A and B are shown apart, each in its own frame.
Chain A
Amino acid sequence: MSGGFEVIQAGIQASIQDLGRIGLTQIGVSRAGALDEFAFHHANKLLGNKYGSNMLEILLGGVKLKAKRATTFILTGAKVDATINNKPIEIWKTYKIDDGDILNLGFATCGVRVYLAVKDGFNIEQKYGSCSVNIKEKLGGKQLQAKEFLPFTCNCLSDNRKLPNKYLQNYDKLLIMRVVAGYQWDMFNHEEREKFFNTLYRVTGQNDRMGYRLSGDKIVSTCKGIISEPIAYGSVQIPTHGEPIVLLKERQTIGGYPKIGAVIPVDCFRLAQAKQDTHVKFKLVSLDMARDINIEFYKFFKEF
């Protein structure tokens, strides 16, 4: 039986995301997909969903939905005051919602992106191999609109599941971003590298699904611009103004600024939850270590 959510309030910027489009970077399509995979995968796992099932990524909150028929859902990610029919509910915990119930989200108090997943995901057709909305390119759909209907198959879990507290993250804490050296690493001399890894940077207001611009000590490279080349996920671009930009999933596919290396995926997930003025620091890790840390993360969710 099918049901769905009727959107009463669409919030600031909410969009359907899965793990994004794979294999299209070569024709200028960025991958997109859920920015905080920690919250994303836990939501699917707690609901017993297929790996990578789509869900709503909600920037800051402010979304109000009315259920048409029942489903089991979960909120993960940023801490937000949420209610069903004005009764407070917890995040990181599954709930059943019934026909006619109103789910209301306040605004995030810790972290910036809330994930709302339903049992088996929303019934949304893929475009170019994914349900993800690329907001900048207006590809794969649009950001959530009031009066829109988000269809789901009515399927409820018999019990409520909750993420054990030991897994919970504090999104406000100083964020250490582990970086593998790469790309134009050699164009930054020893002093500049030292400065890069010793500076306490601050997240600026210029942050979105494309990337996060940081503010702090300026880094200088010997390079005056490079021939445009492909940009990897997590790349730390150092433009002429000298302040780093960490590029995330909706980044441009190619670019001509030097890059000192790339932040590892699990730390990009955390960065995507950092609000303005959060302090961040970079830390150099070896490629092998970076790989081990990420394997540790993914093997919890997926067999490979």
Chain B
Amino acid sequence: MKLNYSLGESFNVASVDSVIIYFGQKISESVAKDVRSAFYALKNAKIESITELVPSYTSIMVTYNFLKISHKDICKKIDEVLRVVDKSCSENRARLISIPVYYGLEVGLDLQKLSKIKNRSIDEIISLHVDKEYFVYVIGFSPGFPYMGEVDPILATSRLANPRAKVPKGSVGIADNQTAIYPQSSPGGWQILGRTPIELFDTSYDGFSYLKVGDRVKFKQVNKKQFLELGGKL
């Protein structure tokens, strides 16, 4: 199966050194798969003069050394790579990663409130979050921050009206139909369900980020003792 894009229509100038390629107009797993296939194909092609490849929900931005190559020539090179991508073969390579989460009330800052709003027990809320497998759409906003989707419709909740000045490091939250983990403590408005002891951004990882675009993620509930043993901090 070929990628859904065309050289004339999908390639847009982003700046003097960047071009953005669109693979669809809506967020969906199928568009995300196209993005992922194209991203890894371009990465493996190691086109000289490409300095950044940034995937997002429906697009990839390619930044290149514009001193060496023109917009027209880089688009041609990108097209040469994408034209031969067969997206069905790259799918098997998606990793499935299990992430331990402690869903205690002292770290799941919005658990009780969500349980009330949704009229479900706290255990049911946790099950809804743990039972689904998520797809990493984007890593952005801050270093190593993964946007994952989609959460169960029952669980989907908009961001806090008043964002927190400080969301603790490792916090696992939801916003609309997305779920994410805060790799560092930072201001933020996601509804927090629990906390993971896993470091998401560290020099010891190949590529510095624990998760990569296209990974599949499953959360695994752990108790307080296990959370602390794994290095978690309350």
Closest to B60 in A: A230
- Which residue from B15, B17, B138, B142 sits with its C-beta under 8 Å from A228? B138
Is A86's beta carbon under 8 Å from chain B? no
Is A124's beta carbon under 8 Å from chain B? no
- Whether B70 and A291, one on each chain, are in contact in the complex, defined by CB atoms closer than 8 angstroms, is yes
Closest to A31 in B: B52
Give A262 to B56 CA distance when docked, in angstroms.
19
- Whether B63 and A232, one on each chain, are in contact in the complex, defined by CB atoms closer than 8 angstroms, is yes
| Chain B interface size, under 10 / 10 to 19 / 20 to 34 / 35 or more | 35 or more
Is B153's beta carbon under 8 Å from chain A? no
- Whether B52 and A27, one on each chain, are in contact in the complex, defined by CB atoms closer than 8 angstroms, is no
0/1 string, A9-34, CB within 8 A of B gives 1: 00000000000001111111100000
Within 8 A of A (CB), among B66-101: 66-68, 70-71
Interface locus among B159-167, B202-210, B218-226: B202-210
- Whether B15 and A254, one on each chain, are in contact in the complex, defined by CB atoms closer than 8 angstroms, is no
Give A183 to B63 CA distance when docked, in angstroms.
14
Residues of A within 8 A of B147 (CB): 228
Closest to B67 in A: A304
0/1 string, B107-136, CB within 8 A of A gives 1: 000000000000000000000000000000
- Whether B13 and A252, one on each chain, are in contact in the complex, defined by CB atoms closer than 8 angstroms, is no
Is A257's beta carbon under 8 Å from chain B? no
Smallest CB separation, B181 vs chain A (Å): 12
Give A27 to B213 CA distance when docked, in angstroms.
9
Closest to B207 in A: A27
- Whether A235 and B139, one on each chain, are in contact in the complex, defined by CB atoms closer than 8 angstroms, is no
0/1 string, B34-67, CB within 8 A of A gives 1: 0000010000000000011111111111010111
Smallest CB separation, A222 vs chain B (Å): 15
- Whether B15 and A235, one on each chain, are in contact in the complex, defined by CB atoms closer than 8 angstroms, is yes
Give A127 to B208 CA distance when docked, in angstroms.
11
Within 8 A of A (CB), among B145-177: 145, 147
Give A196 to B108 CA distance when docked, in angstroms.
46
0/1 string, A211-227, CB within 8 A of B gives 1: 00000000000000001
Is B7's beta carbon under 8 Å from chain A? no
CB contact under 8 A between A180 and B16, given known A28-B145, A254-B141: yes
Give A150 to B113 CA distance when docked, in angstroms.
50
Is B144's beta carbon under 8 Å from chain A? yes
Give A25 to B39 CA distance when docked, in angstroms.
13
Give A299 to B57 CA distance when docked, in angstroms.
37
18 contacts between A and B (CB under 8 A): A23-B52, A26-B213, A127-B203, A180-B13, A182-B12, A183-B12, A183-B13, A228-B140, A230-B18, A232-B15, A232-B17, A232-B20, A252-B140, A254-B54, A254-B56, A254-B141, A262-B16, A287-B71
**What 4 A-B pairs come out closest when comparing CB atoms?**
A262-B15, A230-B61, A232-B15, A182-B13
